[in-house]
Amino acid sequence: MPVDFRRERAWWDAKAPNEEVDFLDEAVNRALRWREIARRLGGVASILEVGGATGAFSIPLARRGYAVTHVDFSPAMLDSARAKAGDAGGLRFVQANAVALPFPDRAFDLVLNMDGAVSFCGEMAEQAIREACRVTGRMLILSVSHRASLIAGWVEQSAKVCGRLLPAVYAMFDRGAWRQDQFPDNLHFSKGGTQDYLGVHKAFLPGELRALLEGAGMRVLRCGGLGTLANLCGMDAVEALRADADAYTAFLDLCERYDLEILPDGPGTWRRAGLIAVATLGGAGAPQNH
């Protein structure tokens, strides 16, 4: 079935007021993405952020002097970002869909496509990835939902609401696929969420994402879990460490080392996109030490 992007747009519009509210491991995920971005800014002038939402990344980057194009397909997200941006120079806003970006090939030095702009394209997620690759002139940072993490979450929700494994668990396990109308029991998963809806969804494994990027002509420098330690050590520990700035910085340092040295294919954080990839166009660039 085709993706009903009108329905998806209405859902994202409704989510706009709380887009930058980070719960528990969401804050870890966002902090780790910022660290990855900061490492990749050398020689960059132009930046595209696909799915820029309310501007958590695009606005600070524009204020640092980069020419930033902020793309989202939700009018409410764009309105919020414009209001928040104020007099930030070098920032333009474009309403567009991640599966059909209105830009020429290789138009931007750095392309950011993080969190929902791929995963919530559902069956068209691979097209969104190819589009991000197409407009990349130098470097791409992309994050998507990690299938390993969502399988565990689907099992937890299935057991909690029904005491058994619902068909959606197996669809996520086998194909990384979710949509509300997949099975009648899927309503149990989305009850209580924004508009009692979870959107269409596609989750990936590291090998799948790597293959897609390489197939699109990219050289993959990093592809794996983001923030797995925060997922595994428990939210009580994360909250306790967040209460002290020095302890939290040390924890983020350890999270990075854990992702790179201990469990590179780990499930990442539960909330927000737990699988990150960094890639350069063709043979450009070289892996950086962390």
Q: Which of 160, 194, 228 is the last residue in one of the domains?
A: 194
| For residue 191, pLDDT beyond 50 | yes
189 with 258, same domain? no
Q: Maximum CA pair distance of the chain?
A: 54
* 163: confidence class by pLDDT, cuts 50, 70, 90: very high
Give the lowest-confidence range in 10-19, 72-81, 205-214: 10-19
pLDDT of residue 283: 56
Number of domains in the chain: 2
Q: Which of 165, 194, 223 is the last residue in one of the domains?
A: 194
Using a pLDDT cut of 90, give the percent of the chain over it.
Answer: 80
Nearest-CA neighbor of 195 among 5, 3, 8, 2?
8
Q: How many residues does the chain have?
A: 290
244 with 108, same domain? yes
186 with 106, same domain? no
CATH of the domain at 213: 3.40.50.150
104 with 179, same domain? no
* 21: confidence class by pLDDT, cuts 50, 70, 90: confident
91 with 179, same domain? no
Domain that holds residue 167: 151-194
121 with 180, same domain? no
Helix or strand run (H / E) with residue 250: helix 245-257
> Does the residue 288 lie in any domain?
no
What amino acid occupies position 260? L
179 with 128, same domain? no
> Does the residue 287 lie in any domain?
no
Contacts of 34 (CB under 8 A, 6+ apart): 57
pLDDT of residue 22: 78
265 with 189, same domain? no
> Does the residue 64 lie in any domain?
yes
* 20: confidence class by pLDDT, cuts 50, 70, 90: confident
Looking at every residue in the chain, the average pLDDT score rounds to 93
pLDDT of residue 288: 39
pLDDT of residue 270: 84
d(CA 262, CA 109): 31
* 137: confidence class by pLDDT, cuts 50, 70, 90: very high
Provide the 10 A C-beta neighbour count for residue 4: 13
> Does the residue 289 lie in any domain?
no
> Does the residue 73 lie in any domain?
yes
- Tell me how many degrees the CA angle 265-270-274 measures, rounded to the nearest 5: 45
Nearest-CA neighbor of 115 among 72, 85, 61?
72
43 with 105, same domain? yes
Q: What is the pLDDT of residues 261-287, one digit of tens each?
A: 999 999 999 888 899 999 999 854 433
Please, are residues 154 and 168 in contact by the beta-carbon 8 Å criterion?
Answer: yes
C-alpha pair distances (Å), 281 with each of 3, 284, 286:
29, 6, 11
Using a pLDDT cut of 70, give the percent of the chain over it.
Answer: 97
**Per-residue buried b or exposed e for 156-188, using 16+ beta carbons within 10 Å of the residue's own CB:** ebbeeeeeeebebbebbbeebbbbbebbeebee
pLDDT of residue 89: 82
d(CA 50, CA 52): 5
pLDDT of residue 290: 34
pLDDT of residue 232: 94
78 with 215, same domain? yes
